Amino acid sequence: MGTERGGDPPGPSGLPVVGNIYQFASDPLSFYEETARGYGPVARYELGGTEFYQVSDPELVEQVLVHENDKFRKGEEYRRILSPVIGNGLLISEGEFWRRQRHRMEPAFHPDALAEYASVMVDYTRRLLSDWRDDTVRDIHADMMRLTVEIVAETLFDADIREYEVDIADALEAVMDRSEKRLKRPIEVPDVIPTPGNRRYKRAREALYAIADEIVAAHDADGDGVVSRLLQAKSHAEDLDDEQIRDEVVTLLLAGHETTALALTYTLYLLATNPAQAEKLRAELDETLNGAPPSNDLVDDLSYTKRTVREGMRVYPPVQSVIREPTESVELGGYECSAGTVVTIQQWVLHGRECRPRAVIQRVVTIQQWVLHRDPRFYERPEAFRPERWSDEFRESLPRFAYFPFGGGPRRCIGENFAKLEARLVLATIARDWEFDAVTDELSLSPSITLRPDGPVKLRVRRR
């Protein structure tokens, strides 16, 4: 299937102008896997004038995200979709400004701070569970979204946002719906045209901004939380103003709760459909906790709980792809990837292919967790949910970027340790006292910026 140096890599044939948009839109996740497995470690496809290069080599993923990260930026694809709602927030800002902002916000994610957050994570989970009734059906995704946004608001902003949960949920749904449509459609409807979708998006953005402004107004520069630290920096930083602080609050509200909610949703669903693994988890919780609630002091003793969360994020990675754009020519697998090309690194593709830009077609290289996390080269029975696989020996045998739910390199998710701790404590708190069976027979997934369920995820919950 190989091509000569400088030629195009193999890939599925498409139609003029729209390329592979119809195959992609019908089932993006299957399209990624079929393209990777059908055409090898570097494959090419087109979506409405944009040429994508899928890359499935962990070493090349590491090159882009770690070793040569200074030659890449997140680029226009993320900015085009996200900047209208999060402005220049940490998720999409670049260069020295991004480094300064990350430095300003990192203390909120220090281990000492996380230890203080642990009790909130457990207490808020128990508060949610007080609404559960024995032998009833819950939309577990809605519950986890509600819980995680309450936790991030309390821990990072010292704010009770329960009265705004509907607004935040509606806003996030509007943002993700818009991003999914923009990924699948070759032609976008301009924001100025008052379509129902554009009007909904505008209302959602205004609601988020109002909530963020209220959170900022409740803080001053004397505290040690995220907002207070940003307010302190504003007094002597020319690149920081009230609008930028609002952008960071919106970014943390959205990004800080959704991915953890997704990880918990999928892990609980997998436990509901894998009773043997659920029983092993409960046995560990009974033995280690002995009836007490989980805590920061005990979380490291919950090894099977940790493996369960890790396996859940492997089977259903909350973020299914990473995108990068080169700022200068880079050699990838012996081929030049020229500056100005949008680079998306997809978990199957980038091995030895040239990425020179064309006058008309924009090229994108994509790194996709979805494909690499399910790669049979690294995982026996990759579709199976097997927390037991994550022994120390297995982890050491894996290539570094065969598993990377939080990205990698300097732009690795700032909230990674926060999310890991939260997921383990929430899962342990729920599974200690509750069992669950799946009512939703099969998950329907909707990939956009994140990998979301396309509809409710219903579990029947029973008190133990």
> What pLDDT is recorded for position 361?
47
Express each pLDDT in 187-198 by its tens digit: 566 666 777 778
Q: Report which of residues 305 and 3 the model is more confident about.
A: 305
In sequence order, what DSSP letters do the residues of 101-133 get, joined into one string? HHHHHGGGGSHHHHHHHHHHHHHHHHHHHTT--
State yes or no: pLDDT of 371 exceeds 80: yes
Tell me if residue 8 falls in helix, strand or coil. coil
Express each pLDDT in 237-263 by its tens digit: 878 999 999 999 999 998 889 999 999
Residue 437 binned pLDDT confidence (cut-offs 50, 70, 90): very high
What are the φ/ψ torsions at residue 447 (nearest 5 degrees)? Answer: -75, 130
Residue type (1 letter), 379: Y
CA nearest neighbour of 46 among 27, 23, 29: 23
Distance of CA 375 to the CA centre of its chain: 19
> What pLDDT is recorded for position 340?
52
Give the highest mean pLDDT range of 50-59, 224-233, 252-261, 270-279.
Answer: 270-279
Handedness of CA 328, 21, 366, 38 (dihedral sign): negative
H-assigned helices in 158-221 = 165-184, 196-217
> What pLDDT is recorded for position 64?
84
Residue 348 binned pLDDT confidence (cut-offs 50, 70, 90): very low
- The length of the chain in residues reads 464
State yes or no: pLDDT of 5 exceeds 80: no
Q: pTM to 2 decimals?
A: 0.91
Residue 352 binned pLDDT confidence (cut-offs 50, 70, 90): very low
Express each pLDDT in 285-301 by its tens digit: 999 999 999 999 999 99
CA distances from 324 to 45, 103, 210, 282, 427 (A): 17, 22, 32, 41, 33
> What pLDDT is recorded for position 398?
97
CA distances from 217 to 91, 162, 249, 385 (A): 23, 18, 12, 45
State yes or no: pLDDT of 118 exceeds 60: yes
Give the mean model confidence (pLDDT) for residues 207-226: 90
Distance of CA 232 to the CA centre of its chain: 30
The three-point CA angle 91-94-95 to 5° equals 140
The three-point CA angle 201-207-212 to 5° equals 125
Domains belonging to the chain, first-starting first, are: 21-463 (1.10.630.10)
Give the mean model confidence (pLDDT) for residues 77-100: 89
> What pLDDT is recorded for position 443?
94
**The pair of three-digit structure tokens given for residue 316, joined into one six-digit string:** 């259903």
